[in-house]
Amino acid sequence: MPKVLYAGADSARESYARELTAGFAEAGVAAELVFDAPDPAAIDYIVYAPASGLRDFTPFTNTRAVLSLWAGVETIVGNRTLTQPLTRMVDPGLTEGMREWVTGHVLRHHLGMDAHITGQDGVWRGDRPAPLARHRPVAVLGLGALGTTCARALAGLGFPVTGWSRAPRAVDGVDCRHGVEALAQVLSGAQILVLLLPATPETDGLMNAERLALLPPGAVIVNPGRGSLIDEPALLAALDSGRVGHATLDVFRTEPLPPGHPFWAHPRVTVTPHIASATRPETAARAIVRNISRAERGEPLEHVVDRARGY
């Protein structure tokens, strides 16, 4: 019987205990779920989140996979003690949550909702309807599990959507581009830019001063990807000059965002506290169980992280 170690946040332990147990029962997999590992060599699988504090994987000599509860794996992918296969979280709850968050924030900017929510001043301005979505080009950088669902949803609302990835991708209704040489053109057409790339050495500071300057004047940035994607001083300068009209930021180089950080008070910045989408135990546990079931049947694991690429 495989032994599965839960090494996630203590606060989520009860929920995962319940959902993983139910998931294994549904899948007909006899697994023993444990919460500590006095004998690490006896552990077959590790369900992992950084909050567990587990950093040294060396003693887990027989572990067949480490299954991350997070979609972003930048804090663990470079861990040299981790020689076991690492999988990342792809889960319907996470995907749906991100689709809703991104769509909501894109629509807020597209429709100019703030003018009516915060600008109620007794003046009737009925002559300024928002343009239709079909006249508002949107670019989504990153066409993975999350970027694809967001790009599709936005295209479904009528936005002309361009997607960008490393390798060629095809997404229905989305103009897909790939590779760094295509980026300038993608940015120059994007009135709203959504960042759903992972944090890797290649994507670090991707949105620097030079690339921010390629965006159409007044463009809006929505970043639920990772803080490292953006050069923060360059973004602040672009916001101050009005070159970038607004930035809705969910993720930051330092989290929690320090109280004195200029983003908090900037009139063109919306800060949300890394809540764009959460891993939800009820759906994430099923994704973990599915992958362990595959391994137990001798099938290849899904969503294996490529250590060289970093995601």
Q: Which residues are catalytically annotated?
A: 226, 274
**How many residues interact with ligand NDP (rule CB under 6 A)?**
30
Residue whose C-alpha is closest to residue 33's, from 300, 281, 301: 281
Mark the segment that binds ligand NDP (CB under 6 A) among 40-48, 55-63, 262-270, 274-282: 274-282
Residue whose C-alpha is closest to residue 136's, from 171, 108, 161, 115: 161
Convert residues 191-220 into a mask of x (bound to ligand NDP by CB under 6 A) and - (unbound). Answer: -----xxxxx-xx-----------------
Q: Return the residue of 8, 93, 160, 225 that touches ligand NDP, per CB under 6 A.
A: 225
CA distances 46 to 12, 60, 81, 126, 226, Å, are: 15, 9, 14, 58, 25
Residue at token pair 């006896």: 42
Mark the segment that binds ligand NDP (CB under 6 A) among 46-54, 210-218, 272-280, 283-291: 272-280
Find the helix or strand (DSSP H, E) in which 7 lies. Answer: strand 3-7
- Backbone angles phi and psi of 30, in degrees to 5: -85, 105
The dihedral built from the CA positions of residue 107, 108, 109 and 113, taken in this order, carries a sign that is positive
Q: Return the residue of 144, 160, 245, 281 that touches ligand NDP, per CB under 6 A.
A: 144
93 near ligand NDP, rule: CB under 6 A = no
- In angstroms, what is the minimal distance from the CB of 215 to ligand NDP? 17
Binding positions for ligand NDP, 30-89, rule CB under 6 A: 71-72
Angle at 194 between CA 189 and CA 199, to 5 degrees: 120
145 near ligand NDP, rule: CB under 6 A = yes
Q: Which residues of this chain interact with ligand NDP, rule CB under 6 A?
A: 71-72, 90, 94, 142-147, 165-167, 169, 196-200, 202-203, 224-226, 250-251, 274, 276-277, 311
